[in-house]
Amino acid sequence: MFDLRQFAALAPDWYERLHYHSELNSTNDEARSLAEAGAKHGTLVLCDHQTAGRGRRGASWICEPGDGLLFSIVIRPTFAQANWSRIALAAGIGVVEALNDKWAIGAQVKWPNDIYIQNKKCAGILTEAREDFVVVGIGMNVMSAPTPAQGGARIDAVAVADMVSDTISREMVLATLLKSILNEVDACAMDFGFQLERLKKHCYLTGKRIKFNANEKNFRGLVCGVGSDGALLVEVDGVLKSFSQASEISLS
């Protein structure tokens, strides 16, 4: 069970806006319901176990109780909806920089929304927007990563504790992440250029050959970086192309 007392001592201001449940279908669904009922910007939903935790593009998110963090934050953007796609990238930067500042573990953003450490996935971010709010949902392997038997076989996974020699706890990791995530999300309206500079530094895919799907077509190419709008820049058949969306990205 998540230790609420430990968390309250580490992050008292976040404890005040925490909605904790031992079990939910999905923290994103609960955060959406709260937002629809008027929950404020920065409302936090956390649970120990999800019965229907989901990832992007219909994938499920597997996490045994006690192994990881499952949480969602309600965001009420005060900038144009056309720029809301920045929120997911900003959240990823917030996660990576919080982990690296605290533990120097070389976390990277696998564009657009995965967090990788040493070539393995440590966390995923699922943002879901409605008319006047966005839910940022994050699943992170903290104490241990799911095994193939638990359904975690699709890609190599790693947990924060695998990389850190100090004793850590889920409470400590969550308290470390939250301020950084919300600061970056709040800053993305005005400071997206600066965030992109940092994203370039943290980009796991830059310099790697990948295969991926975009606009229902399969591509292969060399990743050259991230463009000024946050899109992935890939050299495909000798031509530099910009992809604002892509899925099924893997190294080739």
Q: Which residues of the chain form contacts with ligand BTN (CB under 6 A)?
A: 26-28, 50, 53-56, 59, 61, 70-72, 114, 124-126, 137-139
Residue 190 CB, shortest distance to ligand BTN, in Å, is 27
Give 152 or 221: the residue with its C-beta nearer to ligand BTN. 152
**Closest chain position to ligand BTN (CB):** 124
Please identify, using beta-carbon distances, which residue of 28 and 195 lies nearer to ligand BTN: 28
Nearest residue (CB) to ligand BTN, 125 versus 161: 125
In angstroms, give the least distance from the CB of 29 to ligand BTN: 7
Least separation in angstroms between residue 140's CB and ligand BTN is 8
User: Which one, 77 or 137, has the nearer CB to ligand BTN?
Assistant: 137
Residue 231 CB, nearest approach to ligand BTN (Å)? 19
Nearer to ligand BTN, 29 or 186 (CB): 29
The residue with tokens 């190419």 is 221
State the minimum distance, in angstroms, from the CB of residue 193 to ligand BTN: 26
